[in-house]
Amino acid sequence: ADTLYVSAGTYDENIRLIDKSVSIIGEEDEEIIIDAGGNSLPALKIGEFAGGFYNDGQTGEYIADVIILQNLIFTNSGNEAGLSISQSNAIIEDCIFEGNIGGDYGGGMFVSNSDSVVVNNSIIRNNEGQRGAGVAYYNSDGSINNTTIEANYVLSGYSGYGVHAYSGSDLDINN
């Protein structure tokens, strides 16, 4: 697996990693912002989203290697979660998900069809969405550890202000 080291700054990006194992590590004690620009794409999309979830015709293989995301801020997505992960394994550490507006699933983060997505020592706040305004796990396993989840907003008639795990997801939450 490759690793990309990112220096302090604001990056106006909509990054897509399809069938590529690339870890992204932000410079420690610096502010590394990945700003989705308020459009209909996440700041970072990892994996293939077939079967109706954000499927835009891409093809790809399951990413078996563990992708590490560390010291990053995901913000300003417009109609998808700030971070979308599918058919992948990831460890997310010391990240912030803030000010994202998700569509149907997950405002801050959406995980689907993944074996292990672990979130450690992160902040998920001030995001909006229909199901799981903070984070949504669909048919996925993982854990959320020592993470602050607060002030996320779900649209009327939907559920999961902070976390929404469904369709066979096995999610442990520990603080």
Helices and strands per DSSP (H, E), number in the chain? 0, 21
CB under 8 Å to 157, separation ≥6 — which residues?
A: none
Q: Residue holding tokens 């995980």? A: 111
User: pLDDT means per 10 residues in the chain (175 residues)?
Assistant: 94 87 94 94 83 50 85 94 94 98 91 95 96 94 98 88 94 95
pTM for the model = 0.92
Q: What angle do CA 52, 56, 60 make, to 5 degrees?
A: 90
Asked whether the beta carbons of 169 and 144 are under 8 A apart, the reply is no
Place of tokens 């954000």: 54
